[in-house]
Structures are given as structure tokens and as C-alpha cells.
Homo-oligomer: A and B are copies of this chain.
Amino acid sequence: MAVFTVLGAGMMGSAFTVPLADRGHEVRLVGTPLEAALVERLLRGEPHPGLGVPLSAGVVVEEVGRLDDAVAAADVVVFGVSSAGLDWAIGRLAPHAERPLMMITKGLLWDGQELRALPDVVAAALPDRAIHPVAVAGPCIAGELARRAPSSVMLACRDKALAQAMADLVRAEYYHPFVSDDVVGACACAALKNGYAMAYGFAAGLHEKIGGSPGSVAMHNLESAIFAQAALEMQRVVVALGGRAETAVGLAGIGDLDVTNNGNRTGRFGHLLGLGLSLDEAVERMEGATLECIEIVRVMREASTALRARGELGPLPLLDHMAAVVIDGATVAPPLGRFFV
């Protein structure tokens, strides 16, 4: 058994403690400086407000002041912070950089020249570090994992043997990790799927806009064409970044896109845009929900423009349309005729 210290008590960080505790590991869940109120509730034994269920009895919840001790005591550190909290988390890990690190925090960073996977950004920020972070990707709704519903994830690490070792530690009857060395592919898909799930939501909005009501005769044909085009464009981006196409059409790609299409906030947001609301109106209707889709579309507008200018990336007509809608205020009208080339 091992000691796991999870930084960040958000939904996914907290849900990840469930299989760890069931496997008999010692688990410490440490809130960030912004999560003091959440940690107080968890310490009182209340259900996690995002998950709707209490944490496992064995999980030790700690306030941020205990963080350094908890990291020092850990065999494995898990980053469950938002990408905004990543610099903070890196600073906390720095004195103990020899520990295996699993990252629930994923995504892409555009540095003006390259699109970089967050695990690589973290590794570069810990220059003495000899081991690579392990990204946790794939179709895993936190509320389902917290209820022990059957879930599968991809553990992606440049050191595949380390990914395998982590998989063996975290595997549970209902939690199935698969390993890969395609970190860039896994992280690109984790970010891109938010944008494409927004586009998938366009179809239901367009249907309602012309007076349609929910039901079997809707715009599912359009949805599924968008899905297939998203798979094509995710492959194209992943390969341009040095990843493998199979990642984009596997668990961490179309698997994660499919789960994200299941009526969550991203799809609702796309629905509002399809209905014809402006970006500002749609954002307002989302009442402060985090919209990763806007962020990735903005990043990809800039990055894909530069990569295509350098001849490193093929056509992305759906992404271009998403950017036109989200950045330029264009009306939603997916360019089906330009798909699949």
C-alpha cells in the first residue's frame, strides 16, 4: 500500500480518492487556498457539495496549512487543481520533486511558438526532476466515479513503465486504467473535446431555433457529422503535435468527447449559441459555470493559425467555425459541405 496526497478537493480530485481508499491506500486530500470553506464542510463529514456523496471514511481531509507535511509524507502526489492553480501546485511539489506525480489537471498551453501538454510544462518547471508526470485522461465523470460506476481512464506518461506501475496501484473493480506513452495526444484530446462538445451542442440549438422540440426527429444527423468531423480534426491536431492518431480515436479522444456530449454544461452552452444567443448572452445564461470550451477555442485560434502558417497542420473547418462563433460573433452554421477533406 502507498500514501497518496491529492492537491485540490474539487470534484475530480475528490472522486479520485474513492478507488484509492477502496484499494487500501492511505489517502490525504488537501484543499487549495481557495477551498477553505469546502474543506471545512468535508471535515464536518458532510457530502462533497459537487459530488453529492460523502468521501470514503478512510480519506484524511487536510487544510492547506498541512500541505507541505502531506506532500512530504506522500509516495505519490496527485494534482487535482484547476490549470489556474498549477503554478501554486508546482511550487508546493518542488521540494519533493522526486515523487511520482499524477495529473488530473490536463490541457494545452500555447507559448507563442508551440502547443505544449501541461505535464511537459510541469516537468520543465521542475528542472531537477528525473521522472515524468502521469496524466489521467478519458471519459470519467467525477460523480459517477464517486458512486463507483464502471469507469475507465487512460494513464499517459512518457515513461510507460511508470504509467503501468501507477495503473497497478489505482486499479479497482470498477476503475479500469489503461496505459499509453502518448502524453501530448491525451492532453490535446482532453482540451479539444471541450470545444468540440460545444459544437455538438450547436445542433440541438439550431433545431430549437427553427421551432423544433426535443425528440427523435431532431438534428441528430448533424450532431453525428459534427462528431465524426471532430474525430478527424482531433487526429489532425494530435499528429501535428507529435502524438498518435489512435489516441484521438480511442478512449481519451472520442471516448471522452462522447461522455462530454452527455448533456453537461459545455453542451448546454453550445445549445444556447445554436439558438442564436450572442456569446455574452450565452455566457450570462450559464451563470458563472466554468467554460473550458471558450478557452480552448481561443488557444486553438491562435495556435492553429501559427501552425498552419508554418505548414504543420491541415484544414480544421469545424474548429475555424467554432472560433468564428466564439471570437468573431458569427452565427452558428456548421460548414458541412467542407467537412471530411
Instruction: Indicate if A82 sits at the interface (CB-CB under 8 A).
Output: no
Taking a contact as CB atoms under 8 Å apart, the answer to whether B141 and A220 are in contact is yes
Given A263-B216, A336-B150, do A221 and B140 touch, yes or no (CB 8 Å)? yes
Proximity string of chain A (251-280) to chain B, C-beta cutoff 8 Å, 1 when within and 0 when not: 101111011001110000000000000000
Contact for A143 among B52, B145, B217, CB less than 8 A? B217
Contact for A152 among B140, B147, B225, B259, CB less than 8 A? B225
Chain B residues closer than 8 Å to A196, beta-carbon distance: none
Instruction: Indicate if A218 sits at the interface (CB-CB under 8 A).
Output: yes
Tell me how many chains of this kind the complex includes. 2
Size of the A side of the interface (Cβ < 8 Å), in residues, is 48
Segment of A1-9, A72-80, A113-121, A226-234 in the binding face: A226-234
Instruction: Indicate if A222 sits at the interface (CB-CB under 8 A).
Output: yes
Q: Which residue of B lies closest to A222 (CB)?
A: B150
Instruction: Indicate if A149 sits at the interface (CB-CB under 8 A).
Output: yes
Q: Which residue of B lies closest to A252 (CB)?
A: B228
Q: Which residue of B lies closest to A140 (CB)?
A: B221
Contact for A225 among B150, B225, B336, CB less than 8 A? B150
How far is B29's CA from A182's CA once the two chains are assembled, in angstroms? 52
Instruction: Indicate if A223 sits at the interface (CB-CB under 8 A).
Output: yes
Taking a contact as CB atoms under 8 Å apart, the answer to whether B144 and A176 are in contact is no
Q: Which residue of B lies closest to A200 (CB)?
A: B258
Proximity string of chain A (308-323) to chain B, C-beta cutoff 8 Å, 1 when within and 0 when not: 0000000000000000
Taking a contact as CB atoms under 8 Å apart, the answer to whether A227 and B255 are in contact is yes
How far is B147's CA from A231's CA once the two chains are assembled, in angstroms? 27
Taking a contact as CB atoms under 8 Å apart, the answer to whether A221 and B151 are in contact is yes
Instruction: Indicate if A224 sits at the interface (CB-CB under 8 A).
Output: yes
Taking a contact as CB atoms under 8 Å apart, the answer to whether A149 and B232 are in contact is no
Contact for A178 among B176, B223, B255, B339, CB less than 8 A? B339
Chosen A-B contacts, 11 in total, with CB atoms closer than 8 Å, are: A140-B221, A141-B220, A144-B217, A147-B217, A150-B219, A152-B221, A220-B259, A223-B259, A225-B251, A227-B254, A228-B250
